[in-house]
Structure 1
Amino acid sequence: MRRSPSPAPVPAAAAPPHLRPPRPAGWWIVPVALGIGAVVFGVAWWLLTSASAPSGGGPAATPAPASTAAPLPSGVTLVQVRSEVLRTALAAGAGIGAAITLMLAFRRQRHQEIAIFHTSHDATERRVTDLYTKAVEQLGHGKAAVRLGGLYALERLAQDNPGHRQTIVNVICAYLRMPYTLPAPASGPVQDPPARPAPTLNDRWLHPPTPGNEETPLPEQPAADKTDDAEGERQVRLTAQRILGEHLRDDRTPEERDSGQPADVRFWPGMRLDLTGATLIDLDFQHCHMAKAQFSGAVFTGDARFDGAVFTGDARFIGATFTRRALFDGATFTGDARFIGATFTGGALFDGATFTGDAGFVGATFAEGFQGRDVRVLRPDRFHRGRSVRRGDFHRGRRVRRGDLR
């Protein structure tokens, strides 16, 4: 059983929008009731004061001034007027009560919608957590095919859930950081194991089959299993690198990005990589965008392609080893670029690269020279040179003297 990568915390999805918890209803029921009563009383008072009392029929509750009082119509008594006033006031109170009831119904409906939203959100989070946990467990399986399935499951999960992408990228990087030794090339053709000779009649007579040994198969060849496992692990690692490269790559031109053209839906912006000490095989990160990249101590077997890559944060290649060519043509280092103590066994190509922050090559070794035509260094005083076995052709807005990188 393989060791699973370093356990990463279960990804936390984007939290639902903050909603104010409903307040207890008790504190506003009494004010509302008092308000309705005040409205009913006010309407009744206003209507009663507007009605005039008859001249001799009895005292009015609140007679209106003579200048503004209107005489009662014939056949209408003050009792009838008061009844109509009371009915009108109660109707006004009932209307206000109906409005409050409608508001309460809306509040109840809103509460139900919020509850349904949270229930759906929780169900989605449980499903994502289950898929994530199962995929991480598959990465620790002994069979390469199962590990490949785990990688593809994580890729799909990250594509469908942007809030989990950084966590899933961390898991893939953790897998690539696990110790790995490249399989040794075969020294000769692989020979089939010798076949077991068929038993003769004498063998069957002298050694009759007994329960437990009549059909004993030949043991599996451990060497072949190790070879197959090493090749399977190589394919798993290549797939992990391909997943990172495909989703970090932004194929838009600078003009398209400046014009606001949207990126491809498969592009994952703002990802941070930690591949410290990883063994990377034919890494292809052309035109990839990384918020922060940590490759310190990594071993790049085969060509390492960072053509047109954009490092918006610090890029650290401290002590990294490039066994073949390291291609950084057109790369942009917005933050600090640290190649301190790096070993470039093949060519180091930085044509057209841009260094905005500090560029450190102190202690770096260039076995086949440093090629950097049209390199832009915005802070020349912060460009620290390394050692080169052969002369490097380096430009910093001008052609520098021979031996600048020795």
Structure 2
Amino acid sequence: MRLPARLPRLRRRISAAPAELATPDLLSGIAEPVVPPPLRTPRAAAWWIVPAALLVGGAATAMAWWLLSSLPLLPTTAEEATARQGAIQTALAVAAGIGAAITLMLAFRRQRHQEHAAHVTAYLAERNAQLTEQIAERNARLAEQVAEHNRQDATERRVTELYTKAVEQLGHTTAAVRLGGLYALERLAQDNPAHRQTIVNVICAYLRMPYTPPFDTAQQDPVHAVPRAAVAGASATPTGHNPHEERQVRLTAQRILSEHLRYDRTLKQSTVLADSRFWEGMNIDLTGAILTDLDFTGCRIADAWFEGVRFKGKTKLGWATFGGNVGFGGAVFEDDIWFRGVLFGEEARFVGVTFKGEASFSKVTFEGEVWFGAVAFRKDAYFGDVTFKEEVGFDGSAFLRGASFNDATFKGEAYFGHATFKRGVHFEKVTFERDAWFGEATFEGKVLFDDVQALRPDNEHCWPVGWIVVRQKDGSGLLRRENAKPPSLSSSQ
């Protein structure tokens, strides 16, 4: 059967089977059970029987001939016949011995084949059992994956249905239905983190829709209820909604954003993990929206865009964190704005912003570049204890009331070119670590630059008219009025 000669190749084929099982494709990588290779059809027995018979006969004949030819001459015929008979018997015994040897060899060969066949059969049975177990495990994993896929598919279909229905509710003419749509979206986002950014985008898009606020300022106070007569007689907004009802819907949308963007640890300063209601890493785009009494106190937001926004009522952004870029270009703050303790992680742009009320930036940190170009501060502006880590520009800005930069630190270049200070401005205990530029700035009120330090006095500065830098012993510069008597505790160099 030539089975022993095929055994090494069979073992190599069987050892290669686990590599096939390691394929990640569960549908196409299943290895076939190991089967014995096809055996060659045995030849006819004549091919070895005939030579064996000829060998035995030849051996007997040769032995007989050799013995007979070597017999000596005997005296009698009887003795000669006995000798010849003995020689023939000896030759036949040799032939029988050769035949017995051949028979023994055949028996040994048969035993060896049987042992190899038993070994191969046991090995194949073991490997087939292992492969069967592996295939069963793989089929079980495949069934689990299919079940998980079906579950996820069903969940996605359910989420899509709820999302579509909630978005449709936002376009309903009844305020109660729109409120229901907002709360449905909030619940979806809370239960499905992967869809939170999309739902935040939908809420922001709703706030960007055209809206005409109610004209009665008393009714804009969120604490007071709107009289039914006023609601009934109010004119519709561009979207066809009652303005007083629409205002309540928009306040709800703002409240949903603020509640889920607020990072509780910022306010409580606790070591406990943030509330599970916090949605991390959200971007907001409220470009051109009308926001009433916005309260983003303690919120943590990535990118935020407030370009052209009208902020009505009190706006609170204290202790908020903006991890990405922030833009307020062209925005209008119609009342006081509070940025106290806000962290701007990257670039912040306030170009063309109008602050109709007080603007407080106390203890704010700007880690990126910040631009206040052509900003109108109609009331007092506070930049006390502010840290500008990169370049800052107030070029062309107008401070129509008081302005305070006390204890501010400018780590990058600071530009106040063509800025207008209509009333008093305070730069007490301010530090300029790099260039400061006040070229063409206009000061119409009281100006205080007490204890202002320039750490690089040799840089190309442009200070306000009438102020110079006096070098100190430590190599820094101290700003004071020209021709003023130098302080007794320091000497100029």
| TM-score of the pair, normalised by structure 2 | 0.60
Pick aligned residue for 2:265 from 252, 277, 282: 252
Aligned positions of 1:20-169 closer than 5 A: 20-22=24-26, 24=28, 28-29=31-32, 33=34, 37=37, 56=101, 58-60=103-105, 83=114, 85-169=116-200
For the pair 1:373 / 2:384, whether they are aligned, the reply is: yes
Residues 374 and 398 in structure 2, CA contact (< 8 A), matched pair in contact too = yes
Distance 1:280 1:324, change over 3 A: same
CA gap of 1:23–1:263, structure 2 versus 1, over 3 A, is same
Q: Is the 8 A contact 1:331 1:352 kept in 2?
A: yes
Work out the CA distance in 2 between the residues paired with 1:187 and 1:345: 19
The aligned counterpart of 1:51 is none
Determine whether 1:284 maps to 2:295.
yes
2:180 and 2:210 mapped to 1: Cα distance?
Answer: 21
Letter in 1 for 2:254: Q
**Deviations along 1:96-140, whole A, 9 cap, x unmatched?**
111111111111111111111111111000000000000000000
* CA offsets 1:374-406 (integer angstroms, 9 cap, x no match): 111112x4333521101201132363564999x
Amino acid at match of 1:138: Q
The one-letter code matched in structure 1 to 2:169 is: Q
Aligned counterparts of 1:222 and 1:253: Cα–Cα separation in 2: 43
Change (3 A) 1:84 1:166: same
Q: Is the CA contact (8 Å cut-off) linking 1:128 and 1:157 kept in structure 2?
A: yes
Query: How many Å separate the matches in 2 of 1:331 and 1:151?
Result: 28
**Aligned residue for 2:233?**
223
Question: Is 1:270 matched up with 2:281?
Answer: yes
Given candidates 391, 394, 416, the residue that maps to 1:384 is 394
Deviations 1:187-212 (A, max 9, x none): 999898xxxxxxxxxxxxxxxxxxxx
How far apart, in 2, do the equivalents of 1:304 and 1:254 lie?
A: 17
Q: Which runs of 5+ in 2 are unaligned?
A: 1-22, 39-99, 220-225, 410-427, 431-446, 450-462, 465-493
Kindly tell me: are residues 304 and 184 of structure 1, through their superposed partners in 2, closer, same or farther at Cα, counting changes over 3 Å?
A: same
Which protein has greater RCO, CA pairs closer than 8 Å, 6+ apart? Answer: 1
**Distance in 1 of aligned mates of 2:342 and 2:29:** 62
SS of corresponding position for 2:183? helix
User: Does the alignment pair 1:235 with 2:239?
Assistant: no
CA distance in 1, matches of 2:386, 2:342: 10
Matches of 2:263 and 2:174, distance apart in 1: 33
Q: 1:147 to 1:383 in 2, by over 3 A?
A: same
How far did residue 223 of structure 1 move? 2.7
- Tell me which amino acid in the other structure corresponds to 2:332: T
Equivalent of 1:399, from 415, 425, 429? 429
Matched position secondary structure for 1:33: coil
Q: Percent identity?
A: 44
Q: CA RMSD in A?
A: 3.3
Cα 1:277/1:263, change in 2 over 3 Å: same
5+ residue gaps, structure 1 = 1-18, 39-54, 64-77, 193-220
Q: Is the 8 A contact 2:310 2:332 kept in 1?
A: yes
The TM-score, its normalising length taken from structure 1, stands at: 0.72
Q: What do residues 245-297 of structure 1 show as CA deviations (whole Å, max 9, x unaligned)?
A: 0000002149968x7x5211000111111101100000000011110110010
Matched residue SS, 1:60: helix
